[in-house]
Structures are given as C-alpha cells and as structure tokens.
Amino acid sequence: MSKVITPINYKSLLDLRQTELGIKLIKEFFQQNLSTELRLRRVTAPLFVLKGLGINDDLNGVERPVSFPIKDLGDARAEVVHSLAKWKRLTLAEYKIERGYGVYTDMNAIRADEELDNLHSLYVDQWDWEAVIAREDRTLAFLRNVVERIYAAIRRTEYLTCETYPQLQAFLPEKIHFIHAEELLRMYPNKTPKEREDAICEAYGAVFIIGIGGVLSNGEKHDGRAPDYDDWSSVAENGQKGLNGDILIWYPVLGRSIELSSMGIRVDKESLLRQLKLEGQESRQELYFHQQLLQDRLPLSIGGGIGQSRLCMVLLHKAHIGEIQASIWPDDMRQECRRLGMPLI
C-alpha cells in the first residue's frame, strides 16, 4: 500500500457540508487576493498541449505525461499538461502584457507517476500565475518581495477561514523565513533534503527555500527542477546561485512540512543555455518554446504554481488531500483512511 501518514488522534473539525463550503470560500477568496496582490488577469488555460513543442513542463524529467492521438490531426499526439510553467510565458507575449502585470489561471493536470499518499494525488490542481518583469527585477530582493506578498494572501485567507469556522485555530506565523538550500545543507549536513525541510519548517513555521534545482556543495540537488523555466543557476547578489524556490509551512496536523508553492524568476537566454548544458539537454534548443525565448519573442517573467487542494487541506485542517478532492486511490488506502477517521471523497 502507498504510504499513509497517520495523524495522532485525528478528527475532522468540519463535516462534509462545511468542508465543501470551506473549499469554495478559500478558492474564491484566495484567487481574488492573489490577483490583487500581483496585478494578475485571469485567463483560460489548456488541459493538454501538442507533444514535441517543448511547452509541457518536464518536472524532474522522469515523469511520463498522459498522452493520446488526435484523429483530426493525423494522429498527432497531445499531452495532458504537468503544469503550465512555459505555456504562461507564451501567453504573456500573445496578450502583450505590460511590465508589472500578469496572468493567472486554474491548472488541472494528471500525474500518473505520482506516489500516492496524504499529499500526493493523480489529480493536480493549481493556481498557475506569471507576471512580466524588467531586466533589473531579476534579483533576489524582487523575488523575496513577491514571496512575501503571496504569503500575506495565504494568511489573509487563513484568517477568513478561521473567522468563518471558529473551531479552526490559525497556526501560520506572521513572517516567512528565507534560507538558501546551501545554507540549509550546512545547518543539517547529516539529514536528507526532506528531513532538512521538516527541521527548518518546525523551527520557523513558514519558510522559503531558495535555489531549488542546482547542485549543492555535497554534489546533490535539494530537489529537481526542469532546466527551461526557473532560473536556478544565476548568481544572486549574495553570491549564491538561484532565483527560485519553494514556499513551505510546518503543518501540525501531520507533524511535517508541506510545500504550498513552487515559483521563481524565469530563465533568460543566458541561463536557459547554461542550464540546458548542465543537464545535457542542449537538443531542446530547437523546440518551439525555446526558439521563441532565444529569439527574444518572450518577455522576462516571474511565475509559479500554488496548490489549490493542498492549500484547502491545510487551511481546513484536513489530514489527507483526498478529503478535499475527488481522485482515484488504492482500496487498501481508502480502508485505512476510513479507519483513521479521514474518509476519502
């Protein structure tokens, strides 16, 4: 059976009706706050894209996209998106979005290779967002400011949720702590990346880990990141590499850290070529998306994804993401979760 994290003395504080109303409340309120904070326009996004254009997100490079042939296109294959990391940048160019403004959308994906547990499902739903920036905005200070504004929107949503359902108690700290993955490695040299995340999140409550995707001093990556959207190799003003990262929180219900968002300043031409070379993927330069970037047809941007079901899960104090969204789960997992008081939708 896929691993189930067993919470201690877990009991849902909301019934099914309250849960569904809470999901609606959170999704409507948070996306409006995100849009206002970052000046984002809502756009409609695809569920699938054509294979071979370099538009789909490769995630860690090993996950297989769900694909199917299209009869009216001579059986050309389409792929269900893993995320919209690169599609959004094409959209910024198509809509001629100005600096300081951007887009957001509902991203729905199927990740067939996901290992199913309390936090991971075959079905992924995110708010994907992307905003146009200038060359001088490609700094760690700019990235930190955007992270703080997103975190402020999360905390406002937590406040509203707890006001609506007084049985829920707010737990997110006022401030989010910033740390580079290399510094985190020096603090906890004998721990795995996941153990380091747990330790730092338990200490600070909410953390943004900078520099996800690049090789650290121990010869390993903190976590994988595709080479053609986030810039994880440029040297920031503090001398460390990376203009991207993850927002994580300490989640007391499960006694562990949880990632809520992956985001970052996107690659420019120089960092794209450098990262493709580092990953041995120079051949991707010939794909449609990469050619658009290399020929200066795409704006500089910052963007990311924020998990919808995952945010609802933590703000409604649920122990399993299957209490928030309808998906497919192994029968033995359903039985075990029901026994533990967390019935899956």
Which residues form the catalytic set?
57, 111, 126, 246, 259, 262
What's the sign of the alpha-carbon dihedral 103, 312, 148, 164? positive
CB 292 within 8 A of CB 90: yes
Task: Kindly write down the DSSP assignment for every residue of 239-302, as one continuous string.
Answer: S-B-SEEEEEEEETTTTEEEEEEEEEEBP-HHHHHHHHHHTT-GGGGGSHHHHHHHTT-S--EE
CB 273 within 8 A of CB 96: no
Radius of gyration of the chain (CA): 20
Query: Measured between alpha carbons, how far is 181 from 242 in angstroms, rounded to an integer?
Result: 9
DSSP-assigned letter for residue 221: B
Query: Measured between alpha carbons, how far is 56 from 96 in angstroms, rounded to an integer?
Result: 21
3 state DSSP class of 177 = strand
| Residue in 180, 160, 266 with CA at minimum distance from that of residue 222 | 180
Q: Which residues of 238-266 are buried (b: 16+ CB within 10 A; e: fewer)?
A: eeebbbbbbbbbbbebbebbbbbbbbbbb
| Residue in 8, 82, 23 with CA at minimum distance from that of residue 310 | 23
Question: At 291, phi and psi to the nearest 5?
Answer: -65, -40
